[in-house]
Amino acid sequence: MEYEYIFEEVVVKETSSPIFTLNGEEIDIWSDEYSNYHSKSIADYVKEKLIEFEKAGVDPFSEIVGKDVEKEMVKNALMSGSNILFKGRKGYGKTTFSKSLVKLLPEKLLAIKGCKIHDDPTKPTCFSCKKKLLEQDKIELTWVPRKWIRIAGDPMMTTRQLIGGISIQKIKEGYDLDHPEVFTPGRILKAHRGIAYFDELGAIPSALQTLLHELLEERQITTPEGDIIPIKIDTLFIASTNPANYKGTADIKEPLMDRVEEIPIGPPESLDEEIEIGLRNMSLKEGALLPIWHLKILARAVRYARNKHECRIASRIELEPSCRATIKLFDHLRASATRKGHKAAMLEDYGSKYEIFKLGMRSRMELDYEDDITKDEVIEKLAEEAINRTCTEIYSAIPTDNFGSLIEELAIICENPIKVGENGINYKEYRNLWDMLLMLSKTPEELDSAFEILLESIWRCTGVIEKVSGKYVYTAYDR
Ligand SMILES: [Zn+2]
């Protein structure tokens, strides 16, 4: 009776093994060549790999910038065989982190060919494979690559989508075990022998969370017809939740919370990390150069929006911009500078009213209310604050010994109003200025941009230089 296979636990040992074939050739799955690709649990593979990385002194999550404490917690949780819940607002890398875990799985695994959930040849989960192993003396195998299955939290999700369709009734009616009416795996079963990433676990209806718990904990499911079926799913269960989506209510049910270790994922800790994340993820890989002072200005504008202590206007921001804002600001500045034919970004590329800041930040932040100030005004203030701060930094870096001589040189260059980049100044003729520009810029293409930010800094921090409609002029003589 086929239907009994469902409840049977089928385990294949070397002594009781059928003949396995791979690409038409008979293979010995217990030989050194193949033994690492079956029989082990995902948790075991992960532990082995973690130790390997640890011994080699290699960071398994090198694509994640910073987050040293979080990485340690993740490694420890996995080492003790736990599931993980990443908690944090969107855009701080929860998904990237979960994806990076894929490296802890073997590159490929042996599976029974044709199996809908890529069953292990020695311990099948689905009925069809159990039947094959019990009845056939020759089983065809195949390689399956690493699996990372994203399951998007959706309040409308159905049991069929999540778990799948399994019907004992249909088997009793004589349907073949391979028939889709008998068994169609849902998303979680597709993650068998891989990673299941639940993006927004809390958004999944609570009845489904109960089923999920049953599947992960009891390793069984209850069908809509009321049958309890063992499903020995083997998956690394990783979930994420965004507290901002649930105001005060815990939307992940208690039994599931008890099955995960919560790891908070927040914004990058330092300005340098923020910049690094922006650079790594921007989509415009080519075009105008983005000198470091511009990167700092853009990243600071985003970071001030998150920091009520450092920037007063931030207290009006209810939903803070994530790293995606930083990434997009980098893209927008490069796009703007490239369009204008600049070799390196200039201040005018921001737009006359900081349009590129608005372009990258408007949709990524929310104010508490907008009666007395608009979002655009807030963004302008953030940009101003970021420019002031960055210019102060540059101004403070001018060596005190050379300050007087530098100003004398600027007095000559800026005797009449100049627009940087259009006057063809030979910077090398001015020794103090040249030293300063070399200190700021990394490449000759950045020299104009460096000269501009230097003038901007002296204008903002002293009164020696004046800025009039985008041109800088020396004014000290007038005072
Ligand atoms: Zn199977």
121: three-class secondary structure by DSSP: coil
Å from CA of 114 to ligand 1 middle: 8
**pLDDT of 52 above 60:** yes
Å from CA of 123 to ligand 1 middle: 9
Q: pTM score, two decimals?
A: 0.86
Strands 83-87 and 235-241: parallel
**pLDDT of 85 above 60:** yes
Å from CA of 138 to ligand 1 middle: 15
Mean pLDDT of 85-102: 93
CA angle 139, 104, 98 (to 5 degrees): 115
212: three-class secondary structure by DSSP: helix
Å from CA of 32 to ligand 1 middle: 24
- pLDDT > 70: percent of the chain: 97
Distance from C-alpha of 316 to C-alpha of 322, rounded to nearest angstrom? 16
Per-domain residue ranges of the chain: 2-264, 271-394, 400-478
Q: Hey, what are 197's tokens?
A: 């990433």
Distance from C-alpha of 64 to C-alpha of 479, rounded to nearest angstrom? 53
| Span 216-265, pLDDT tens digits | 888 888 887 888 888 999 999 999 998 876 654 558 888 888 889 999 99
- Average pLDDT over the chain reads 92
Å from CA of 200 to ligand 1 middle: 29
Element (H, E) at 141: strand 138-145
Res 479: pLDDT: 45
Å from CA of 118 to ligand 1 middle: 6
Fold category of 271-394 in CATH: Helicase, Ruva Protein; domain 3 (1.10.8)
Q: Which of 191, 44, 41 is nearest to 122 (CA)?
A: 41
Mean pLDDT of 32-47: 96
Å from CA of 80 to ligand 1 middle: 28
Strand-pair partners of 111: 142
Mean pLDDT of 321-350: 97
Res 435: pLDDT: 95
Res 8: pLDDT: 81
Å from CA of 119 to ligand 1 middle: 5
Which CATH code fits 2-264? 3.40.50.300
